[in-house]
Amino acid sequence: MKTYTGRIREVADEIREGDLNVAFTGAGVSTSSGIPDFRGEDGLWERYDPTAFMIERFRSDPASFWETLLEVRDEAFAEDPEPNPAHDALTRLHDGHIGAVVTQNVDGLHQESGIPEDDVVELHGNVERVVCEACGWRADADETVEGMDKLPPACGSCGDAVKPDTVLFGERLPEDALGKARQLAEKADVVLVAGSSLTVEPAASIPRIAERNGTTVVVVNFDPTPPSVSPDYEFNDDVTDLLPAIADEVMR
Ligand code: ZN
């Protein structure tokens, strides 16, 4: 890690002084937990055809959709992923300094590291759940998949095919989560962006909303952010080093 002492101290001061601070996390926070980035050079989409995960395919042929999905799931989540130091740092900050985490990740690792479900806004859903489009029934994905004798897994309430509770290609982001995220961005004193390249819309609009309102925007991401965003502080470094350093400084 490079030396950022002065800037980390300034960021820590802003976080301590803020009444409402919000973290915004992307794939970079989960890669150290062994979860591959779906985009990028060795991303899953280089090996799997993204059209296999379109909502239309699920609706027209849920059985073969699930067959491909289980293959990818076995590969991407082969070893039970655990929260890493970046998650833990945010959980420490949640204890008094960060009100909510808005995430593009679907792995549930913020909750697993100790942030209550109500304080995590999942923009792209959660792979650990399934949902029935017909009746809204939700359940644990593992339990539903393990208990079935044929594909696709069926809704425990109406018997329809269930869908993974994640945003598939061709689907809109959930309105309620997006609305909540926008509201948080409008009210926040500090938005701490971690592990997101801020390229995927509409999620990327969240820090821009914050910027417009005079919120302090802090970015911790290995790759530089695109020119459309001009954060107050930017650290192009490893989130598993930088976030613990920021949390330490805030707690000092
Ligand atoms: Zn149902």
pLDDT at 77 over 80: no
| Residues facing 24 on adjacent strands | 102, 193
For residue 231, the tally of other CB atoms under 10 A from its CB is 20
Full 3-state SS string of the chain: CCCCHHHHHHHHHHHHHCCCEEEEECHHHCHHHCCCCCCCCCCHHHHCCHHHHEHHHHHHCHHHHHHHHHHHHHHHCCCCCCCCHHHHHHHHHHCCCCCEEEECCCCCHHHHCCCCHHHEEECCEEEEEEECCCCCCEEEHHHHHHCCCCCCCECCCCCCECEEEECCECCCCCHHHHHHHHHHHHHCCEEEEECCCCCCCCCCHHHHHHHHCCCEEEEECCCCCCCCCCCCEEECCCHHHHHHHHHHHHHC
Q: What is the pLDDT of residue 238?
A: 96
Cα of 178 to ligand 1 centre, how many Å?
24
Residue the block writes with tokens 């919120």: 215
Q: Count of CB atoms within 10 A of residue 126's CB?
A: 21
Q: Of these residues, 87, 94, 110, 124, which one is catalytic?
A: 124
Choose the CATH number for 36-76+128-166 among 3.30.9.10, 3.30.1600.10, 1.10.260.40, 3.40.50.2300.
3.30.1600.10
Residue 226 pLDDT level (bands cut at 50, 70, 90): confident
The rounded Å distance from CA 133 to ligand 1 centre is 7
> Which CATH fold would you assign to the domain 1-35+83-124+172-252?
Rossmann fold (3.40.50)
Quote the ligand 1 centre to 152 CA distance (angstroms): 13
Q: How far is the CA of 50 from the centre of ligand 1 (A)?
A: 26
- Tokens 């820590």 locate to 12
Average pLDDT score, the chain: 90
* Cα-to-centroid distance, 74 and ligand 1 (Å): 25
Alpha carbon dihedral 94, 98, 101, 107, in 10-degree steps, equals -20
Is the full-model pTM beyond 0.85?
Answer: yes
Q: Where are the domains of the chain?
A: 1-35+83-124+172-252, 36-76+128-166
Q: Is 94 a catalytic residue?
A: no
In this predicted structure, which of 45-49, 60-64, 160-164, 223-227 has the lowest mean pLDDT? Answer: 45-49
For 25-46, write each residue's pLDDT tens digit. Answer: 999 999 888 887 666 556 666 7
Please give the pLDDT value at position 88. 98
Tens-digit pLDDT profile for residues 144-177: 988 788 899 999 999 999 999 999 999 999 999 9
Closest CA to 196 of 12, 27, 13, 9: 27
Angle at 203 between CA 70 and CA 78, to 5 degrees: 25
Q: Which tens digit of pLDDT belongs to each residue from 104-149?
A: 999 999 999 999 999 999 999 998 999 999 999 999 999 998 878 8
Q: Are 218 and 211 in contact (CB under 8 A)?
A: no
Residue 50 pLDDT exceeds 90:
no
More reliable by pLDDT, 201 or 68: 68
Residues with CB under 5 A from ligand 1 (ion): 132, 134-135, 137, 155, 157-158, 160
